[in-house]
Amino acid sequence: GGGRCSNSKELRAPICCVMGHVDTGKTKLLDQMRKSHVQEHEAGGITQQIGATFFPVQTLRSRTKELYESLGKSPLSSDIPGLLVIDTPGHESFTNLRARGSSLCDIAILVIDIMHGLEPQTLESINLLREKKTPFIIALNKIDRCYNWKSVENLAIRKSLKNQPEEAVNDFESRVSETINALTCESGLNTQLYYK
């Protein structure tokens, strides 16, 4: 005797890999989440190695609060300690690092520059994730470059769209449609915006 029995489990942080073509804003997106400036100090502004950041669950809750509210859902509740995010390089010469990163991850975020749509390393990343059967979401980035877009930092997309002039909304919707069609035609993915 004397030992204690515990029903609680020590869960490890899931590993999330951020992938996509060079210059889609993967590192800049992570900089925004962690309130850092890593991308500014990279040679030529291009990631050339695998980087990792741990986001405690409290940080995830605060960074996703507005999203959950916009969906009419309760805030993130989880027993995991957080999320370990791996930033992979997007340049074509770093295929081996992307493959290594994708083999480590439990989930992934595929970043697509809405202005450029699908690019070679986007398709390569999709193939790597499919090969490993890794669940992933797609993040359309650089929407602030849509015609006449009015940026408001950290505003959920549906709220942001309500504050945009008609030409910005039309440009956004057209580019989303083009990206969804390209994902279907070029990779066979059935995709939709999360709020549709």
- Count CB neighbours of 38 within 10 A: 15
Q: What is the pLDDT along the chain (196 residues), one digit of tens a residue?
A: 444 444 446 788 999 988 887 667 777 777 777 666 554 444 444 444 567 888 888 888 888 888 888 888 887 777 889 999 888 765 454 455 545 556 678 999 999 999 999 988 889 889 988 988 999 999 999 999 999 999 988 788 998 999 999 999 999 999 999 999 999 999 999 999 998 8
Lookup result for tokens 């951020």: 18
pLDDT at 181: 97
Residues 26 and 90: beta-carbon distance below 8 Å:
yes
pLDDT at 192: 95
- As to burial, measured by CB atoms within 10 angstroms (0-12 exposed, 13-18 middle, 19+ buried), residue 110 is buried
- As to burial, measured by CB atoms within 10 angstroms (0-12 exposed, 13-18 middle, 19+ buried), residue 131 is exposed
Residues 6+ apart with CB under 8 A from 151: 144
pLDDT at 99: 59
> In terms of Cα–Cα distance, which of 90, 86, 92 is closest to 45?
90
φ/ψ (deg, to 5) at 38: -60, -45
pLDDT at 86: 83
pLDDT at 182: 96
One-letter amino acid for residue 117 of the chain? G
One-letter amino acid for residue 131 of the chain? E
pLDDT at 172: 98
In angstroms, rounded to a whole number, what is the distance separating the alpha carbons of residues 47 and 164? 32
> In terms of Cα–Cα distance, which of 179, 185, 145 is closest to 25?
145
